[in-house]
């Protein structure tokens, strides 16, 4: 993982990506704990050497910890919702027919066909 690297750019880029995906990842509390340990290590290693990475890592750690109460346990994450499972089972034959294209899809298809005048080349 880039957070374990000694390369400044790899650590900075990893932190930048983690910041961007934080609203969506991690969702599982165990995974957040693993990431938290790696970020903690970055904080301790970079505290005196590269303060900008230290500040970035500390900031990420704070935001990650603030999301912890909303995270799921791993066994909750892997369980399908009952409504979703029923919809999948009851609609098992529905995928046999092809769906009709939407109105927007029909418009795009119609507009991509050249008209009689458009097909002629200008001389």
Three-state SS for 80? Answer: coil
What is the pLDDT at residue 102? 52
Closest among 84, 80, 5, 17 to 46, alpha carbons compared: 5
CB 32 within 8 Å of CB 64: yes
pTM more than 0.75: no
pLDDT > 90 fraction of the chain, expressed in percent and rounded = 56
**Tens of pLDDT along 81-109?**
776 555 555 555 544 444 555 555 544 45
Distances (CA, A) of 56 to 66, 90, 110: 16, 49, 51
- Look at residue 80 and tell me whether its pLDDT is greater than 90: no
């Amino acid at each position: 993982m880039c957070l374990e690297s000694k390369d400044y750019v790899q650590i900075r880029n990893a932190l930048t990506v983690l910041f961007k995906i934080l609203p969506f990842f991690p969702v599982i509390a165990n995974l957040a704990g693993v990431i938290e340990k790696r970020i903690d290590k970055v904080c301790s290693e970079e505290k005196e050497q590269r303060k900008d990475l230290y500040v970035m890592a500390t900031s990420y750690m704070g935001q990650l910890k603030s999301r912890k109460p909303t995270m799921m346990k791993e066994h909750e994450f892997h369980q399908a919702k009952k409504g979703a499972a029923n919809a999948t089972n009851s609609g098992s034959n529905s995928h046999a027919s092809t769906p009709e294209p939407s109105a927007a899809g029909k418009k795009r298809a119609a507009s991509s066909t050249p008209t009689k005048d458009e097909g002629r080349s200008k001389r």
